[in-house]
A = this chain, B = another copy of it.
Amino acid sequence: MIIELERLEIQSRADMEMIDVTAEVDRVVAASGVSAGLVLVMTCHTSSGLIVTEGVECLGRDVLAHLERLAPKQPPKDGCGYWHNRYLDFDGRVGFNAGDHLKSILGGFECAFPIENGAVVRGGRQRVFFVEYDGPLARTVLVQVLGQ
């Protein structure tokens, strides 16, 4: 059994951003020499996500806008608000990122694909995105290949 784990270092450039890592995932799988098995892709950060969807720019804008609708950075105006806030060390002030943790939960933080004949098996439209909800930040994404 071959097991390889690679860390992708990603620098997000915006507060919210979708970064296509499909080519990196494919590269790690090819380099592993695994013919059949699976690949696990995971973000290490609880205010970021890992989403598989179609790779068109307009849809990426919709994904970010809609997650912001469903889990807004500003607390919902229902009188309950968010309990969680934190000191934002990159700008020296107390801020809120509860909504960004919630986006991460809704969209997910990891996914797995089969490997067959040395290649990742995915649908023709499926692209793998690291999704920044609370950037810009330096982030780590894991790509693990397991197989033979």
Instruction: List residues of chain A with CB under 8 Å of any chain B CB.
Output: 1, 3, 5, 36-38, 40, 42-46, 51-54, 56, 58-59, 61-63, 65-66, 69-71, 76, 78, 80, 82-85, 98, 101-102, 104-114, 116, 121-126, 140, 142, 144, 146-148
Contact = CB atoms under 8 A, between A and B. Distances in A.
Main secondary structure of the interface of A (DSSP, over half): mixed
A111 B113 contact: no
Contact of A63 (B65, B102, B109): B102
How many copies of this protein are present in the complex? 3
A107 B140 CA distance: 22
Given A56-B84, A69-B78, 9 more contacts: A1-B148, A3-B36, A5-B114, A44-B126, A46-B53, A54-B101, A58-B83, A121-B142, A123-B140
